[in-house]
Amino acid sequence: MMNSEEHKIPGIRLKNNKAQVNVWAPLAKEVVLLMGPSLELPLTRSGEGYWFLLSGELQEGDRYRFRIDNKEYPDPASLSQPGGVHGPSEIINLDSFQWTDTDWNNLPLQDYIIYELHVGTFTPAGTFEAIEDRLDYLLQLGITAIELMPVAQFPGQRNWGYDGVYPFAVQNSYGGANGLQHLVNACHEKGLAVILDVVYNHLGPEGAYLGAIAPYFTDKYHTPWGDAINFDDAWCDGVRDFFIANALMWFRDFHIDALRLDAVHAIKDMSPVHILKEIRIQVDDLMQHTGKNHYLVVESDLNDPRYINPLSKGGYGMDAQWVDEFHHALRVTASGEHYGYYSDFNGIAHLCKSYTDAYVYDGQYSEHRKRKFGARAIDNPGQQFIVFSQNHDQVGNRMLGERTSQLLSFEMQKLLAAAVIFSPYIPLLFMGEEWASTHPFQYFVDHSDPELAEAVRKGRREEFAAFHAQGEAPDPLSREVFDLSTLQWDQLEQEQHATMLHYYKTLLHLRKTHPVLKDLNRKHVQLACDEVKQTIQLCRWHHNESVWCLMNFSREVQTQSISNPSPLMTILDSASSQWKLGEDKSIKDRPGNNTNVFVLQPESFVLLGTRPFTIQL
């Protein structure tokens, strides 16, 4: 006999040679499981809109559907969709995988150095198994955590993952549930943490049967994707149970170390206990039971520290968040772009503010939004903020999907890398960035519905109508767009790409081994910005040791002086010959006899310290 909580675990779970079947369909009059041409197993109505069945007739590998009031659907909590989003669901046993990561218990959050990748385009094969072949490469690069873009089952074979419609099913073309478990286990054996991107703010437009089965959506709120997921309207308890169970599944059954929750600002919830807070509480309970540590990371553009403040201070208890505003300020500083949301950023002054305050807008007036925006994040440590110069959004949402390597000089790319990696925050790299990949990462989908496909094409054309001078927006349904977005690993054989890769390895080695750079104390940071010269002096310290990060974003040679009683020593100079494709223009020739006056080459970076520091890769 099931207890009251067991019947809230959605889908089919195999246990003690029996299948436990649960479906939340509160408005249904009948729910029947269909398997094969003749087997029909009716479910029994339980409380709060749940239907359940305990059967010994179902086995692993069986394909099934549900008939709900004379209409047939795949399982909304399916664990496997081998025939795609419209096909029958498959029974699999998540407990059958033989884990060997018993001694693994995550990394401290401050030790995360994140590498974001898209499973389908990270390798030519586009599978979890193929990623395993590249894990040693990532370790040698200096990565400590990989972040997978969403893997929930989506339509077709090509998608960013944000059009997923089966939150519990792992994309079959990537290798399914077993493939993901095997990848996570392999990562843990090598000391790599795994972050998984999940989407709790919307479902994709094709194959999303949840709304037909139960009140998973509400018209109380408008979102960019239509009606909002129902987290606070009538019948919301079943919806909340569904997504909480999903978060717990990734941690419990897949040993995922952290979830990155996509666009939480689009989650509409006015409940006394916000859904994010409830997820936090449930994850804390799981961690207490298993003894394993898991993190919750959010993407939010609200600049609201309530999301990352602990429960004890009235927050939602998220462990960290992406900081888009650091990226925007850095991008404007480097390129001068001022269109769209970049118009709110003045460049280097805002970049300096983000180095100390994380949020650029924390209460002042935003011209782009036409209102005061944000609140200060005062007591939040550096490891609660994740920064980057590129990610899937900031690259792929450009009309042509250009990477920084296609937009900025080789020297500026090196400067951006140092600006991110030596910040007092957690750095994130986007796949291929480390070798200055010159292939774009464009938006792609693989919808089977012709009308939907044409609507997507039209939407992209209209979105970028003002950019007609750049040509027409690429067709997101085109196989060529997908292939062009796939990493070309043979580029590493070319000098400029090999040089950039070695440079990134050196930066990450310093970030991991230097006592000042690995410490993420936001209060141990001082900035000096010169808006005329376009330079930044970033000083960081830990105990009795300090480093100075000198950044020159201008195209002119700049001279910088540092007030320090003893001579400073060069640890790394991006203009030195080992990082350049041309002549050596490092700071070895200093003006006059003043040892703490430095000449910075255009678009360059210098790391200085109070003592010598040997780099041993």
> In this structure, are 296 and 381 located in the same domain?
yes
Phi-psi region of 56 (alpha: psi -120 to 50; beta: other; left: phi over 0): alpha
Pick the last residue of a domain from 93, 123, 138. 93
Buried b (16+ CB within 10 A) or exposed e, 108-118: ebbbbbbbbbb
The token pair at 343 is 């118009």
> In this structure, are 257 and 335 located in the same domain?
yes
Per the DSSP assignment, residues forming a β-bridge with 97 are none
Task: State the residue range of the domain holding 337.
Answer: 111-198+246-263+272-460+475-509
Pick the last residue of a domain from 29, 62, 93. 93
CATH number at 276 reads 3.20.20.80
Give domain status of residue 603, yes or no. Answer: yes
Domain count, the chain: 3
> In this structure, are 502 and 559 located in the same domain?
no
Pairing of strands 365-366, 371-372: antiparallel
Taking the C-alpha atoms of residue 66 and residue 74, their distance in angstroms, rounded to an integer, is 6
> In this structure, are 548 and 482 located in the same domain?
no
- Residue 462, pLDDT score: 84
> In this structure, are 296 and 430 located in the same domain?
yes
Q: Do residues 333 and 302 make contact, with C-beta atoms less than 8 angstroms apart?
A: no
Whether residue 395 is annotated as binding a ligand: the answer is yes
- Residue 1, pLDDT score: 40
Whether residue 289 is annotated as binding a ligand: the answer is no
> In this structure, are 163 and 292 located in the same domain?
yes
Q: How many H helices and E strands in the chain? A: 14, 30
- Residue 565, pLDDT score: 82
Give domain status of residue 54, yes or no. Answer: yes
> In this structure, are 548 and 504 located in the same domain?
no
Whether residue 192 is annotated as binding a ligand: the answer is no
> In this structure, are 437 and 584 located in the same domain?
no
Whether residue 265 is annotated as binding a ligand: the answer is yes
Give domain status of residue 454, yes or no. Answer: yes
Whether residue 358 is annotated as binding a ligand: the answer is no
Whether residue 497 is annotated as binding a ligand: the answer is no
> In this structure, are 391 and 283 located in the same domain?
yes
- Provide block-wise average pLDDT over 10 residues at a time, the chain (617 residues): 62 93 97 93 94 95 97 97 97 97 97 98 98 98 98 97 97 98 98 98 95 96 92 97 98 98 97 98 98 98 97 98 98 92 94 98 95 96 98 94 96 98 98 97 94 91 72 91 97 96 98 97 96 97 96 96 89 92 58 72 96 85
Give catalytic residue positions.
262, 299
The token pair at 14 is 């195999």
Residue closest to 501 by CA, chosen among 489, 485, 518, 486: 489
Per the DSSP assignment, residues forming a β-bridge with 15 are 18
Length of the chain: 617
- Residue 584, pLDDT score: 60
CATH number at 601 reads 2.60.40.1180
CATH number at 17 reads 2.60.40.10
> In this structure, are 145 and 253 located in the same domain?
yes
> In this structure, are 431 and 530 located in the same domain?
no
Whether residue 240 is annotated as binding a ligand: the answer is no
- Residue 467, pLDDT score: 64
Give domain status of residue 213, yes or no. Answer: no
Whether residue 479 is annotated as binding a ligand: the answer is no
Ranges assigned E (strand) in 438-534: 525-530
> In this structure, are 530 and 420 located in the same domain?
no
Pick the last residue of a domain from 29, 59, 93. 93
Give domain status of residue 55, yes or no. Answer: yes
